[in-house]
């Protein structure tokens, strides 16, 4: 199974973030504007976000997205 993980706002966290060991593809973007979210997450299985707003209309455009994980939830 392919697991594409995309981190949309890497610059918003000062902590060290490692590539998830389960990821077959891992992409980091320093910042992501609202109008870039859907394109950057196209084909992604997991989204890592901190400050980027994930709205219902955006999520509806992302059928492959299974996990939307906020950076401040302790996981």
C-alpha span between 63 and 44 (Å, rounded): 9
Query: What does pLDDT average to in each consecutive run of 10 residues of the chain (75 residues)?
Result: 92 90 95 97 94 93 80 49
* Residue 35 CB partners (closer than 8 Å, separation 6+): none
The reported pLDDT for the residue numbered 74 is 45
Domain 4-70 falls under CATH 3.40.50.280: no
Domain ranges of the chain: 4-70
Q: What is the pTM of this model?
A: 0.85
C-alpha span between 35 and 43 (Å, rounded): 17
């Amino acid at each position: 199974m392919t697991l594409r993980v995309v981190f949309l706002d890497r610059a918003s966290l000062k902590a060290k973030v490692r590539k998830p060991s389960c990821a077959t593809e891992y992409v980091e973007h320093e910042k992501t504007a609202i109008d870039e979210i859907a394109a950057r997450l196209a084909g992604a299985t997991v989204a890592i976000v901190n400050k980027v707003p994930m709205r219902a209309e955006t999520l509806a455009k992302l059928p492959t997205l299974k996990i939307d994980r906020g950076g401040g939830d302790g996981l």
